[in-house]
Amino acid sequence: MADIEVIPSSARVQERYLDVVRSAKEEILWIFPTANAFIRQDKIGAISLAKEAAKEKNIRVRILIPASSLIEQKIQQLKQYCSPNNIIDIRYIVQMSDTKATILVVDRKASLVMELKDDSKATFIEAIGLSTYSNSKAGVLSYVAIFDNLWRQTELYEQVKDARDSLAQSNKQLEEANEQLETHDKMQKEFINIAAHELRTPIQPILGLTENLLSNTKDIRQVELLQVISRSAKRLQRLTEDILDVTKIESQSLNLKKEWFNLNDVIANIVDDALTSDASLKKEGSTPTVKLEYHVQNIFVQADKGRITQVISNLLSNALKFTKEGTISINLERKKEDDYHNDYVLISVKDTGQGINPEILPKLFTKFATKSETGGTGLGLFISKSIVETHGGKIRAENNSDGKGATFAFSLPTVNKE
């Protein structure tokens, strides 16, 4: 027959309390409402009895208690007492503000609920009020259910806490890695920038002195050697300028100096320079191997004249590099976008050379994209794309439909000149 006893005497409760703990054969479940409740019940020997039961009879003890610095040392000692088997397991719960009672369940057969009358009292007898003992299956299992629910909540809380700690640690590591990467990237860019400037400083005197020597030298062998020096210095000059441009692009400091100018003048000057300097366009007692075509058309744009010159020169230089014979044509035309009715100008360079390698075509305008046997860093088209897009235009490249050569084209938005 089930026995339920209400015990008003705190002294009587203390005796029953210790007897119930001693009677445990398999399991002790405890819920302490406060850290002081734990301290008082440790003083009367209840915790020591549970330790002995765990150690000598292998009884499992599980305790739920609010975290507190007052009992942290004692809790750690308890956790280590039966380690590594974890016969005594303690988990922290939130301070219980509504339910002020210690709940003890032994072997899932008996329960003792002790009301906390005054938590400020130092002794068990002074602090405890009305208590209820029960071995009713329904009543005991209800307290077991309360305990199990709270225990599962602590498991979920620990999982969430571990996940948060792991995420926080990962975020911290990621932030540190990003900081290191940014520092490394900054140092690398600073080094490249300084190195490019330092390289650029001696190049101009080398070119100037070489040109001076060339103009005063009659010896053919010396002229050939000086021309090698001049070509190498000019190539190094182009490389340093490209490196500096890439640094500006990646640091988003590529500034434009816009002005009104006639595109025809720019292209005409580029064509004249090419006809003067490129051997494939010169007549040397016979017809040149490559014909350069351009039809005059006056179109004014507001853009950075130097940068647009750089783009067109780069596209023509590439066309000359890959065209051994045939024709290179530069076209300039005004267009209109039907969807937006915005005017733009399209500049294209079409050649009859070897065309664009299919492997390189998808990444043609990225850094270091080159498969050229004639050398090159693969920076020119990357820089050209950045210049065009900074102007609000687009650049593209494709192999010609007849299978001969390729066409590079870029657009520039136009506005009415007032």
CATH label, 4-135, candidates 3.10.20.30, 3.30.870.10, 3.40.50.1860, 2.60.120.260: 3.30.870.10
* CA angle centred on 325, ends 323 and 327, rounded to 5°: 80
Residue 168 has pLDDT above 60, yes or no: yes
Please tell me which of 155-164, 247-256, 288-297, 348-357 the model is most confident about, judged by mean pLDDT.
348-357
pLDDT given for residue 275 in this prediction: 84
Structure tokens of 395?
A: 């650049």
Q: What SS3 state is found at 403? A: coil
> What's the CATH architecture for 165-253?
Orthogonal Bundle (1.10)
Residue 18 has pLDDT above 90, yes or no: yes
pLDDT given for residue 121 in this prediction: 92
Mean pLDDT across the stretch 253-265? 88
pLDDT given for residue 415 in this prediction: 67
Residue 358 has pLDDT above 90, yes or no: no
Cβ atoms of 131 and 13 within 8 Å: the answer is yes
CA distances from 313 to 272, 307, 361, 398 (A): 11, 10, 20, 18
Please count the other Cβ atoms lying within 10 Å of the Cβ belonging to residue 92: 15
Mean pLDDT across the stretch 10-31? 92
Identity of the residue numbered 4? I
- Chain centre distance of CA 272: 48
Selected residue with higher pLDDT from 239 and 304: 304
CATH number of 256-413: 3.30.565.10
Residue 295 has pLDDT above 90, yes or no: no
- Split at pLDDT 50, 70, 90, the class of 93 is confident
pLDDT given for residue 162 in this prediction: 77
Q: List 334's β-bridge partners, or say none.
A: 345
pLDDT given for residue 171 in this prediction: 81
Beta-carbon contacts of 18 under 8 Å, excluding residues fewer than 6 positions away, are: 44, 45, 46, 49
pLDDT given for residue 163 in this prediction: 80
Residue 100 has pLDDT above 60, yes or no: yes
pLDDT single digits (tens) 153-163 = 888 877 777 78
Selected residue with higher pLDDT from 268 and 165: 268
> What value does the mean pLDDT of the chain take?
83
Can you give the residue ranges of every domain in the chain?
Answer: 4-135, 165-253, 256-413
pLDDT given for residue 302 in this prediction: 92
* End-to-end C-alpha distance for the chain, whole angstroms: 107
Least confident of 214-218, 231-235, 269-273, 361-365: 231-235
Q: What is the pTM of this model?
A: 0.52
Please count the other Cβ atoms lying within 10 Å of the Cβ belonging to residue 16: 17
pLDDT given for residue 280 in this prediction: 66
- Split at pLDDT 50, 70, 90, the class of 172 is confident
Least confident of 113-122, 189-198, 336-345: 189-198
pLDDT given for residue 346 in this prediction: 92
What DSSP string runs through 95-121?
Answer: --SS--EEEEEETTTEEEEEEES-TT-
